[in-house]
């Protein structure tokens, strides 16, 4: 699938270049457009839409970096960005004519006479940046502070159902996702509310909801569409579901793990992926994130990966949110760090644990909105 999308964009880019070399109607232009349309329609047989966005020198689709990113960010995406666009969506029903009209407008030397507009089958967007505010410590609506707590109350039932091999309770999970969306939507440009920790027994579920809030906020800052943010939210809510298989005495231990206890604790990633793969109704992103969220950017961490393993973007997002919330939260055996210190600690791990560009967006577009202590 990613190969078809990559080829389609390269054909689109070829059609744009051909417009500068050949007269309109030249067979070279038409053949590039037809091949691009054919590839996109092939993918759209399996997906309702295809969303791509550029981030520095990368073009990302479905959490993966396209192989031809370096070429696409030299030509196609700079042309889009000159028109204020860095997110591109193709939807079912796309025809060659739609593609041709879009590329004609993009290639036009007169953007006023040929404006670039969204159509029913081609959507245009831009990465959202956190709004500035004169009240950076402003509080969101009081009601939103209870949403994450409510979500944590029901999440444990969803986890239990996954552990027993039941159909994923999409209704309950959908309510949790809606709560998370409302928390974020009610707090644009001001303090991002997270669930308070009332007692130790609730830590895992409250922490998980916080991770989902932070993950979706980062996904939105990167321009993810609503469908991708929805799946990212579910994956974040289920990323630690494998901890059900870990003995309670290890999960609740208040000191350092022994070597054997740590080995057992590490099993929650593979166990979580196994549970999710065997649970009907789980989005395919969820077992990937459960399996990868403790693998570092440099390949260390766990489980052990083959050399050159490329982490899914969703796994990196959830991992970042996971580490941030864990460091800032007070536990019975250690005091949580203040946000500035958490930022300092995470920046120190750039290049080994975290991707520098992703961490910068996380701090500038999510954490800069303010996090309650």
Our count of domains for the chain comes to: 2
**CA–CA separation, 127 and 358 (whole Å):** 13
Task: State which of 125, 153, 175 marks the end of a domain.
Answer: 125
Q: What is the pLDDT of residue 362?
A: 96
Tell me, yes or no, whether 23 lies in a domain.
yes
Q: Which of 179, 129, 186, 137 is nearest to 158 (CA)?
A: 179
212 and 319 assigned to the same domain: yes
- pLDDT for the residue numbered 159: 84
Cis amide bond preceding 303, omega within 30: yes
The torsion angles phi and psi of 248, rounded to 5 degrees, stand at -60, -35
Helix (H) or strand (E) holding 122, with range, is strand 122-125
Question: Are 251 and 335 contained in the same domain?
Answer: yes
Q: What is the pLDDT of residue 247?
A: 92
pLDDT given for residue 251 in this prediction = 87
**pLDDT value at position 332?**
67
Give the per-residue pLDDT at 140.
Answer: 40
**What does the pLDDT read at residue 361?**
95
Does any domain span residue 117? yes
Instruction: Of 169, 174, 175, 167, give the one whose Cα is nearest residue 157.
Output: 169
Are the C-beta atoms of residues 5 and 52 closer than 8 Å to each other?
yes
- pLDDT for residue 69: 86
Distance, CA of 240 to CA of 230 (rounded, Å)? 17
Distances (CA, A) of 105 to 13, 26, 99, 317, 358: 14, 17, 10, 35, 32
Spatial distance between the Cα atoms of 113 and 109, rounded to a whole number of angstroms = 9
Check which CATH number belongs to the domain holding 211 and give it: 1.10.3210.10
Across the 373 residues of the chain, what is the mean pLDDT of every consecutive 10-residue run? Answer: 90 85 81 91 91 81 84 86 85 93 88 83 66 32 49 74 71 68 65 64 80 92 89 93 91 87 95 91 92 93 90 96 92 82 94 93 90 70
Residues 88, 234 within the same domain: no
Give the pLDDT confidence score for residue 22 in this predicted structure: 73
Exposure class string for 333-358: b at 16+ Cβ within 10 A, else e: eeebbebeebbeebeeeeeebbbeeb
* Final residue of a structural domain among 96, 125, 154: 125
Query: Are 357 and 239 members of one domain?
Result: yes
Write out the residue range of the structural domain in which residue 91 sits.
Answer: 2-125
Is residue 134 situated within a structural domain?
no
Write down the pLDDT at residue 190: 58
In eight-state DSSP terms, residue 350 is B
Q: DSSP label at 153?
A: H
Which pLDDT belongs to residue 20? 75
CA distance 328 to 208: 14
Does residue 149 share a domain with residue 283? yes
């Amino acid at each position: 699938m990613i190969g078809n999308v990559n080829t389609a964009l390269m054909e689109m880019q070829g059609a744009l270049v051909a417009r500068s070399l050949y007269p309109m109607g030249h067979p070279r232009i038409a053949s590039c457009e037809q091949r691009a349309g054919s590839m996109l329609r092939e993918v759209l047989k399996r997906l309702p839409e295809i969303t791509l966005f550029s981030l520095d020198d990368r073009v990302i689709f479905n959490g993966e970096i396209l192989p031809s990113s370096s070429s696409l960010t030299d030509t196609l995406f700079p042309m889009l960005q000159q028109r204020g666009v860095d997110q591109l969506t193709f939807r079912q029903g796309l025809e060659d004519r739609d593609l041709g009209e879009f590329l004609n407008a993009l290639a036009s030397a007169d953007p006023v006479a040929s404006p670039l507009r969204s159509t029913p089958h081609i959507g245009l967007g831009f990465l959202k940046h956190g709004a500035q505010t004169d009240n950076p410590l402003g509080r969101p609506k009081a009601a939103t502070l209870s949403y994450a707590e409510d979500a944590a109350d029901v999440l444990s039932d969803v986890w239990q159902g996954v552990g027993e091999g039941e159909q994923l309770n999409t209704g309950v999970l959908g309510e949790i996702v809606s709560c998370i969306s409302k928390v974020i939507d009610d707090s644009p440009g001001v303090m991002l509310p997270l669930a308070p920790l009332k007692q130790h027994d609730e830590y895992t579920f409250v922490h998980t909801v916080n991770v989902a809030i932070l993950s979706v906020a980062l996904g939105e800052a990167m321009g993810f569409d609503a469908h991708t943010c929805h799946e990212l939210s579910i994956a974040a809510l289920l990323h630690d579901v494998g901890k059900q298989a870990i003995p309670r005495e290890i999960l609740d231990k208040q000191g350092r793990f022994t070597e054997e206890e740590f080995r057992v604790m590490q099993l929650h990633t593979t166990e979580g992926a196994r549970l999710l793969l065997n649970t009907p109704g789980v989005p395919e992103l969820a077992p990937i994130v459960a399996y990868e969220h403790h693998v570092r950017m440099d390949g260390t961490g766990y489980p052990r990966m083959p050399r050159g393993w490329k982490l899914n973007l969703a796994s990196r997002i959830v991992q970042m949110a996971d580490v941030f919330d864990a460091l800032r939260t007070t536990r019975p055996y250690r005091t949580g760090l203040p946000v500035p210190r958490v930022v300092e600690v995470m920046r120190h791990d750039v290049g080994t644990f975290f991707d520098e560009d992703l961490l910068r967006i996380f701090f500038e577009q999510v954490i800069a909105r303010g996090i309650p202590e």
